[in-house]
Amino acid sequence: MSVILGIDPGADTGLAIFIDGKLVRLDTILPHSIGHSIGELLPHRVVFEDSRLQSHAWNAQKKANRGAALAAARSVGQVDAWCKLITLVCADLGIASHGISPKAKGAKRGAENFAIYTGWTHSSNQHERDAAMVAWPYRGAK
């Protein structure tokens, strides 16, 4: 049985669990639970959206005032730290892991489009859908 875990780290962290290539569960957790979730599931591979792989802050606008730019930088810095945490936890547990840049993950999918693309018929939020899409190409990996 192959278990792949997709993660979209953030203040609301999305998780997507694939078993033998099939999407079986979506969840949203708080960042402090990332390590516990990985340790509890012990997947064969973790694939996560890695903000460190994108050179610019995609949510900062050119005309943003200094306060908004600092808030965006703090937010990106937090996500960068959670990406590092995922890498370290996986290394400690001997789990293969790798990050995918937000751009490489592709455009965000709405619930209807996501259902058509993945076959997922249950409810989902954007964080969960992003977690699933980041791991989608690897869902059948061993």
The model's pTM is 0.87
The mean pLDDT value for 99-124 works out to 93
CB 98 within 8 A of CB 47: yes
Highest mean pLDDT among 60-64, 86-90, 99-103: 86-90
pLDDT for res 64 = 62
Contacts of 124 by beta carbon, 8 Å cutoff, 6+ apart? 26, 111, 114, 132
pLDDT for res 80 = 87
The mean pLDDT value for 66-73 works out to 68
**For the chain, where are the alpha helices, taking DSSP H only?**
34-41, 66-93, 102-105, 111-118, 126-135
> pLDDT tens for residues 6-51?
999 999 999 999 999 999 999 999 999 999 999 999 999 999 999 8
- Residue 36 CB: number of other CB atoms within 10 A? 11
